[in-house]
Amino acid sequence: MSDFHLDNPNVLGNFEQILQGYQDVLIESNNVVRPPALWILCGNFSQKPFIFDGPNISFYQSLFSKLAVSFSKFSLVTEHIHLIFVPGPNDPWDSTMLPRQALPASIVKPLLHSTSQIPSGHLHFGSNPCRIRWMSQEIVIFRENLASKMCRNVIEALKDPTIAADEEDIDITKFLVQTILDQAHLSPFPITVSPVLWEHDQALRLYPMPTAVRDYV
């Protein structure tokens, strides 16, 4: 799930409906049919960009406190799942440079203190991007507005007026994926467009190619 806006009541409400559905299935099947073992929640976790000051830190803490309350209602589900949180471009600590650090412990403190509802070791806070080793597979999770960056920096060829409009339609996501795979790098842009922390550039590389790449744009 991406853009998991905790300050939007509809998001938490819909998420609780999902948890309720899985809890009902667990009860009806006597714990035989279980929910997916791995849940990935990606930012941005607020509709408003993070600003580094006291009120904003308290605001983010209150958001994760609400999420902890939601999880506390569905302990049957949380004991069977692993939760991975990946920060978005506007989450703490807001930075234009890649890769981004995991959500700081001071922000997610309310969630960490609810370990009575979420088993120890089932909460994971990943960097952006992060890599998951799931059995024999390697999965790369990346939360970035790559499509919009690509559109802003694309070089358009002159249009041929003889080509019908429907033939000119281009699936930008197809070219985006192909560009990432061809360059084997999650940030195929000049550093003026997308700055990179060079000492951690290896975190953005896709060589050798992982089993799957999931970009939440």
Q: Which two tokens stand for residue 1?
A: 């799930």
Distance CA 139, CA 117 (A): 27
- When pLDDT is averaged across residues 82-107 and rounded to a whole number, the result is 92
- pTM for this entry: 0.89
Q: pLDDT at residue 94 above 80?
A: no
| Beta-sheet strand order (sheet of 82-86) | 38-42, 82-86, 123-125
**pLDDT score for 162:** 62
Taking only the tens place, the pLDDT of each residue in 7-29 is 999 999 999 999 999 999 999 99
Integer-rounded Cα radius of gyration of the chain:
20
- When pLDDT is averaged across residues 47-56 and rounded to a whole number, the result is 88
Confidence of residue 216 (pLDDT cuts 50, 70, 90): low
Rounded to 5°, the CA angle 167-171-177 comes to 145
Distance of CA 108 to the CA centre of its chain: 15
DSSP state of 134: E
Q: What is the mean pLDDT of the chain?
A: 89
- When pLDDT is averaged across residues 131-148 and rounded to a whole number, the result is 90
Pair 143, 216: CB distance under 8 Å: yes
Helix (H) or strand (E) holding 133: strand 130-134
Interhelix angle for 172-183 vs 146-153, to 10°? Answer: 100
Taking only the tens place, the pLDDT of each residue in 159-188 is 666 655 554 566 777 888 888 989 999 999
Distance of CA 139 to the CA centre of its chain: 13
**pLDDT score for 214:** 73
